[in-house]
Amino acid sequence: MTHPSDTGPAPVLALKGISKSFGAVRALRDVSLELFPGEVHALAGENGAGKSTLIKTLAGVHRPDAGQVLLDGAPVVFHGPGDARDAGIAVIYQEPTLFPDLSIAENIFMGRQPRRALRRIDHRATREATTALMKRLGVELDPDRPARGLSIADQQIVEIAKALSFDARVLIMDEPTAALTHSEVARLFGVVRALRDQGAAVLFISHRLEEIFDICRRVTTLRDGAWIASEPLDGMTEDDLIRRMVGRDLAELYPKQDVTPGEVALSVRRLTREGVFTDVSFDVRRGEIVGLAGLVGAGRTEVARAVFGIDRRDAGEVEVDGRRLTNGAPSTAMAAGLALVPEDRRAQGLVMDMSIERNIGLTGLGATVRAGLMDRGAERSRSLDWAVKLRVKYARIADTVNTLSGGNQQKVVLAKWLATRPKVLIVDEPTRGIDVGTKAEVHRLLSQLAADGVAVLMISSDLPEVLGMADRVLVMHEGRLTAEIPRTDATEETVMAAATGRAA
Amino acid sequence: MPDSLTRAVRWDTVVGALFVVVLLLSFTTVDGFGNALNLSFLIGNTLPIALIALPMTLLVVSGEIDLSVASTAGLSGAVMGALWNQGMAIETIIPLCLLLGVVCGLVNGLLVTRLGLPSLAVTIGTLAAYRGIAQIVLGSDAVTDFPSAYLDFAAGRIGDTFVPYAFLPFLVLLAIAVVALHATPFGRSLFAIGAGEEAARFAGVRVRRQKLILFTVTGLMSALTGVFWALHYASARYDNATGLELSVVAAVLLGGIDFDGGRGTLGGAIAGVFLLGALQNVMSLRDVSAQSQIVVTGALLVLSVLGPRVARQIAVARAGRRAATAPDPKTPAPTS
């Protein structure tokens, strides 16, 4: 393997020929990886490619069946996460686990605070140590501030500071940006660059390819548990990387079909929710995919909630196929042919403890009824039908949805709503946190739905997705609709200009 | 059948088996337990718990609770006594009492659904308030001279059998509750609300309406229980049914209804009710003091929260072993 000599002579941490099986499942097969100080290294692969297993092997959670972990060139065996931490390896997970009522300083030094006489905690020393850590990271965070109320990005920065306090030399970041906004990602990346420049080795995992290209120097790709390549990102394109991950060309990531829009299916007029969004009017026609873009907090999700009736609107009208919707009543919106795939699939899209069958069945309680009683046969065949149509991967339809992967959970949410045969489908961040293969499937599905005459409103923070899929792009900025851009004129520049309020 | 149900069914079996064991032990070792008269007492004395347990089960499945049920029953009995003293006809009084129960339930339901207050807190408040109103209405009087036809119906049994008259209408109500919870879209939505209220709302379930209905029906059934109590014991006092909520909640949880909502069956709840009733009957026959009986009920309450969890963990562990040895998990099995 070659790498530029200026990154230093030897890898700080390396995996050689690692294999790991769980029962009959071979999660990792002969995987090698080298992490150099002062370098951010990307780990790419679809869900189920073995990324998590690899991270857990590095973190001492799993012990490999074969192969070696080398620390500074010498083989080591981690008997548990404590060993890995003592060796200077820290993992930052997607969802930070801080104590909300403790201060930043207390969180960082939890369980090992500096002591004064009589074993009392030395608050001043704790605070000073925290300030020093924050300075190294180049951020300003008050050590006395409680963790509650910190943005997720700041919580992750606290986790990084905690890792530094353990003298971590290797930082593993498992999808840290999945829940972050654009500006928060920038803030986090600032910290990661500062660490890199101080000589830390960083392993970075993200489904957002542009982030990988932004911050990483080299990438290791896994597919189905096997090592595919380790190579510099210089000179690679996103398509190259996708081909490595998926094993085939994915020209069809945005398989948008051309359609001639039909009559108006969803009409929103002067919709207002005080203090949240104001005077929002737009139409979506049959066969159209309309993208709704904007920064996080611009009010896009809130508009969708008010249209569907989860929240009450203070003013304005919503019509579906010419039928005016009752204010604040999702059940009448559903009856009129409206469906909403919500942004938070774990809390809003699915009842995690219920079966796939019952989750899909939940939108059909009115339909699978005979003489007032549940028709269980009809309920089951409706659920099976849609689970199969959307190619949900499951063992039994009676399994609870929390046993499924994120992408398959999202397919269950889509199945649940497509089973209502909607005329208008609103999807809010339909591909967040799911791998590129499933993402392409979702896009193909949306395109097919539109071709079949469904009106689709797609809210997404994934700009390439909006540009690739939408016939028209609506842009919101600070609670107002600021632009409507036809497909031919929509570029990253025009959309971002409107989203940040710079539009003419 | 979905996992949540099979797991609960397993705990149902435990409670059912426990009930059989208690019955067998009581038949063989407790003098005076097995005769028809005592058994009819057992059932009659358990009916108030059973009547309220029906709506309580639905309420707990949907993630809520009502602790004011015993006070509503007491208030209903007190109003019944006061109106009877005024000379009103019993045929007018009983519907009025039931209407009062509806109002009590509506108040709870509106406080919970419109103001978004936690039902535990709201109904502890109305537990005190309704009991207080009962005392204001009737003072410390005891009204006993209700028409004998009503008293006979509430306290009597069919011939020499162990079946009280009042058991028959209860069976009808039980059947209605079972169907409502386990075979209607309404019941399905209650499980969804209990297991994931926000997701239920996003799926178009009218969460607040369903809850309001449940609280209202619970008030109605509590008032009905108050009427039954006053007639069954031929005594309407403001402190009728005091502490009954403890028995109801203990019995429902003992029957495998998850306190966090979303899980359980009515069959289990009713098994829990009659298990508790049998224990209380045996303790009375053995001259165990009322105070000690409350201790036992309290202990059962703790046990009943613990038991299903342990059972579920065993079930999960077993499912894990089964999955590890399953031949081919790829085919979606149309099993139940």
- Total-model pTM: 0.79
> What's residue B311's pLDDT?
75
Q: In 3D, which of A22, A165, A20, A166 has the Cα closest to residue A83?
A: A166
Q: Could you state, in order of their start, the residue ranges of all structural domains in chain B?
A: 3-316
pLDDT at B167 over 60: yes
Share the mean pLDDT of chain B: 89
B328 pLDDT higher than 70: no
Q: Is B248 exposed, middle or buried (0-12, 13-18, 19+ CB in 10 A)?
A: buried
Interface size A-B, in CB pairs within 8 Å, comes to 105
Least confident among B42-56, B109-123, B277-291: B277-291
The residue ranking higher by pLDDT, B213 or B17, is B213
What is the pairing mode between strands A264-273 and A277-285? antiparallel
What local confidence, expressed as pLDDT, does residue B77 receive? Answer: 97
Smallest Cα distance from A376 to chain B, Å: 9
Q: What is the DSSP string of B286-302?
A: TT--HHHHHHHHHHHHH
Is A388 in CB contact (< 8 Å) with chain B? yes
What pLDDT does A404 receive?
85
Contact B192 A358 (CB under 8 A): yes
Binding-face residues of A in 345-364 toward B, CB within 8 A: 347-355, 357-358, 361-363
Closest CA to A168 of A155, A177, A159, A181: A159
Nearest-CB residue to B199 (from A347, A357, A365): A347
Say if CB A450 and CB A287 are below 8 A apart.
yes
Helix (H) or strand (E) holding A446: helix A436-451
Separation between Cα atoms, residue A410 and residue A430, nearest integer Å: 8
State the pLDDT confidence band at B310, using cuts at 50, 70 and 90.
confident
Give residue B278's pLDDT: 93
| A171 near B CB under 8 A | no
First to last CA, chain A: 51
Residues A165 and A108: beta-carbon distance below 8 Å:
yes
Which chain B residues are Cβ-neighbours of A349 within 8 angstroms? 199, 202
pLDDT of residue B322: 53
The C-alpha atoms of residue A193 and residue A160 are separated, in whole angstroms, by 12
User: Which percentage of chain B shows pLDDT scores above 90?
Assistant: 75
What gap in Å lies between CA B119 and CA B105, rounded to an integer? Answer: 12
Please tell me which of the candidates A23, A310, A394 has its beta carbon nearest to residue B332. Answer: A394
Average pLDDT over residues B25-30: 91
Determine the pLDDT at residue B316: 67
CA–CA separation, B266 vs B269, rounded Å?
Answer: 5
Are A330 and B200 an interchain contact pair (Cβ–Cβ within 8 Å)?
no
Contact yes or no for A398 and B189 at CB 8 A: no
Contact A350 B333 (CB under 8 A): no
Q: How much is the average pLDDT of B312-326?
A: 60
Query: In CATH, what number does B3-316 get?
Result: 1.10.3470
Amino acid at A234: D
Q: How far is A499 from chain B (nearest CA, A)?
A: 28
Whether the CB-CB separation of B138 and B238 falls below 8 Å is answered with yes
The confidence score (pLDDT) of residue A290 equals 97
Chain B, nearest residue to A349 by Cα: B199
Measure B123 CA to nearest chain A CA, in Å: 27
| pLDDT-flagged residues of chain A (< 70) | 1-9, 24-25, 48, 248-251, 503-504
Q: Which of B196, B323, B329 lies closest to A351 in CB terms?
A: B196
Provide the 8-state DSSP code for B4.
H
Query: Which of A250-259, B48-57, B99-108, B247-256 shows the lowest mean pLDDT across its residues?
Result: A250-259
Q: How far from A266 is each of A339, A468, B204, B294, CA to CA, in Å?
A: 11, 22, 18, 61
Which backbone phi and psi does B98 adopt, to 5 degrees? -65, -40
User: Is B185 near chain A, with CB under 8 Å?
Assistant: yes
Can you give the pLDDT at residue B4?
47
Asked if the C-beta of A178 comes within 8 angstroms of chain B's C-beta atoms, the answer is: no
